[in-house]
């Protein structure tokens, strides 16, 4: 029974396409996040939602649009994909916005050709 | 703003040897500190965290870390390495108030040889 699940696990697509990654958590947490891990394993926060409200929006191109239909789900839509978007995208959740102990999904590896 | 520096992108130890992974942080406010482990093709798993109270914190799999404010450090140790400890380890920091976001270090790959 996976706590934080992401789909799809792998995405291979062409430049210019639009793609979405879905995330769901069954932990009853209030806060969810999207992190990007680049090819050098560096992890950087992109967005955070608390009870469906956007609370953190880092310097991310506006081609990236998160959506939280309810507090258990946080999806990431990416328009006009570029080569530099290739990375592993991790969804995470925490009990509240204090973020004490994030639970991570297994990641979605996006490859843009 | 917070930041984390992990010294050594790779650390190699023999099975049974002491594991020491270094982490130094920078924070203008009292920090919360974390260590996460990432196995190949998996997400990150919380090993341990320091928020308040005792500065020596124990985590899963026999790991522990000590918060040293004077040295701005939060090094991770394990007395005896096991082959299964081979993974990528990330130190992270966040502030202790308001909306928090974890800032990660660049990671240290732990290699364990027989």
pLDDT digits 0-9 by tens, B48-97? 999 988 999 999 999 999 999 999 999 999 999 999 999 999 999 988 77
Three-state DSSP state, B9: coil
Instruction: Scan residues 47-86 of A and list those with Cβ closer than 8 Å to B.
Output: 48, 50, 55-56, 58
pLDDT (0 to 100) of residue A104: 93
CA distance B36 to B99: 20
Contact A106 B42 (CB under 8 A): yes
Give the residue from B20, B24, B33 showing the smallest Cα distance to B77.
B20
Nearest-Cα residue of chain B relative to residue A57: B101
pLDDT at B99 over 80: no
pLDDT (0 to 100) of residue A56: 85
Nearest-Cα residue of chain A relative to residue B49: A101
CA distance B114 to B39: 19
pLDDT (0 to 100) of residue A95: 87
Contact A102 B102 (CB under 8 A): yes
Question: What is the arithmetic mean of pLDDT over B9-27?
Answer: 96
pLDDT (0 to 100) of residue A99: 66
CA distance A101 to A86: 27
Contact B100 A102 (CB under 8 A): no
* Segments of chain A scoring below 50 in pLDDT: none
Contact A48 B45 (CB under 8 A): no
Smallest CA–CA distance, residue A73 to chain B, in Å, is 18
CA distance A67 to B51: 30
């Amino acid at each position: 029974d996976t706590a934080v699940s992401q789909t799809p696990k792998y995405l291979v697509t062409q430049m210019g396409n639009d793609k979405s990654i879905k995330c769901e958590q069954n932990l009853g947490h209030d806060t969810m996040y999207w992190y990007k891990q680049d090819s050098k394993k560096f992890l950087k926060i992109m967005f955070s939602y608390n009870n469906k409200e956007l609370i953190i929006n880092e310097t991310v191109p506006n081609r990236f649009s998160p959506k939280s239909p309810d507090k258990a789900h946080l999806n990431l839509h990416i328009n006009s994909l570029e080569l530099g978007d290739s990375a592993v995208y991790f969804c995470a959740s925490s009990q509240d916005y204090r973020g004490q102990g994030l639970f991570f999904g297994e990641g979605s590896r996006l490859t843009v050709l | 703003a917070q930041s984390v520096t992990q010294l050594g992108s790779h650390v190699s130890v023999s099975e049974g040897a002491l594991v020491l992974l270094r982490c130094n942080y920078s924070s203008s406010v009292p920090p919360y500190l974390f260590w996460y482990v990432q196995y190949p093709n998996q997400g990150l798993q919380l090993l341990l965290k320091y928020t308040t109270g005792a500065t020596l914190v124990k985590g899963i799999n026999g790991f522990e870390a000590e918060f040293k404010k004077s040295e701005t450090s939060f090094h991770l140790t394990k007395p005896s390495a096991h082959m299964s400890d081979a993974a990528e380890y990330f130190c992270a920091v966040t502030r202790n108030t308001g909306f928090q976001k974890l800032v990660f270090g660049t990671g240290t790959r732990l290699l364990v040889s027989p």
